[in-house]
Chains A and B, each alone.
Chain A
């Protein structure tokens, strides 16, 4: 009698990838251009950035693929900063002041459930729950330059929607002139909020602000993802601000409240050192920070020491289309 056949690999129904998950993965790969015709022409640099040596530094928290479009006008030509560097080098003082601290300390951060409130001088106050953040508005991919006041810069493919869409949905009142933002306050989860030493002595919650016209500008993005997937916690999950013509610290992370006001709101770094950090924080090569010359910046790319590029900084980080917002203003005084 023949011996009964037993498979050497024992798999059960539990091991089968759920169809929905399978489809999501395909959608993600497609969106990145790794499947089909575009896979053949995808540049090796891109492939290296995503699946090369940076993979071992990839975040431990599961990030979900997103569905989005990639409008041609927002695809910067600059070489993208690899995923590992975008998610491994962050200023997020709630998780520590060292740039590698957030990736190390934010992995247990819970972003679901989440509540984002839009209130203040609006006719229609809104509350978005976790799912609404990625589903209520159509998502777009935008490749933006990000310039830190510390004189380094990155190029990041963000996924998000225009802040203006959200504000329009809330119907601002005619006396609304500014938009105030607030990061979640949760000392249990954020060691920097528990200890002044870990958090750099900042008063939390972190707050930021924009003028209403800046907030309504089509470049201003509420980001929910990067490199095709939801944001890792160190990058400000589940939703953060991206204002590409301003220094990085304006990009407030893990937002829980957006409030429209009639007076200029406080912003954290300005509260801490008003002579060093202004309200506007527009990238401006003609106004130096006391410690960092703003004339040039180090672009963080894929390579090491000898491939470090020092490039001249452009006014408004190169986003000249925002210049009309500041017509008639002295940007040396209003820095």
Chain B
């Protein structure tokens, strides 16, 4: 056994690790924008940024969803203290993705934005995923969470739909079905697998009418 007792992170450790995470996630985003500005991010900087921020969003969603299984398996439950932050960064990257699209691809043509969302299903799907991430982010402060009570968890279970929409958007934006998105779908199966108990419970509850809940389980 590596550790005799669970590893607890002191406040100082949490603060320093969070600072490092901020520096890394913001720094990476800023550095990539800088590369695009100086023309070093592939030949087509707009496409390069769209790829980076889009894939970054999905990666951060995966990271967010990996934290609670990790908290169970690692002898350190304190990793949960980073989940909210990583989740909000998924939204930050998603927002940069959308902003890049609006500012540099559509050149702030808002009427084209609405027609593109209406005409192209894959853009509608991506936009819906972003709106879900927005809803999850604005309800992430502790004060809001406390006020929302049980509905908070119900709302935040939509993160799975958000992941599904994000991956659908990614696959659909490609010219062929065979490609990198397949790897991401495979990883999403891992995310589901790590939650199979929760999923089973959820499905069982779906199949039951509320009145049947009073019956004792066999």
Contacts and interface: CB of A to CB of B under 8 A. Distances in A.
Interface in B106-149: 107, 112, 116, 119-120, 122
Contacts of A84: 43
Of A81, A199, A300, which is in contact with the most chain B CB atoms at under 10 Å from its CB? Answer: A300
Contacts of B33: 305
B37 interface: yes
A305 B46 contact: yes
B179 A152 contact: no
A303 B105 contact: no
Nearest to B183: A197
A310 B109 CA distance: 12
B73 interface: no
Given A305-B104, A308-B104, A291 B122 contact: yes
A293 B39 contact: no
A152 B36 contact: no
Contacts of B75: none
Contacts of A89: 42-44
Contact of B120 (A100, A152, A290, A300): A290
Contacts of A298: 44, 46-47, 105
Interface stretch (B83-91, B150-158, B169-177, B188-196): B169-177
A99 B119 CA distance: 26
Using C-beta atoms within 8 Å of the partner chain, give the interface range for chain A: 20 to 34
> Which DSSP category, helix, strand, loop or mixed, fits chain A's interface?
loop
Contact of B43 (A99, A199, A200, A310): A99
B44 A197 contact: no
B103 to A, nearest CB: 10
Contacts of B13: none
A305 B35 CA distance: 9
Given A197-B179, A201-B176, A85 B43 contact: yes
B77 interface: no
Given A200-B176, A291-B173, A302 B39 contact: yes
A152 B104 CA distance: 13
Nearest to A91: B175
A199 B178 contact: yes
A97 B176 contact: yes
A330 to B, nearest CB: 21
A282 to B, nearest CB: 19
Contact of B182 (A197, A202, A272, A288): A197
A306 interface: yes
8 contacts: A97-B178, A99-B42, A99-B44, A200-B176, A200-B179, A201-B176, A298-B44, A305-B41
Interface of A: 81, 84-85, 88-89, 93, 97-100, 150, 152, 196-197, 199-202, 272, 288, 290-291, 293, 298, 300, 302-308, 310
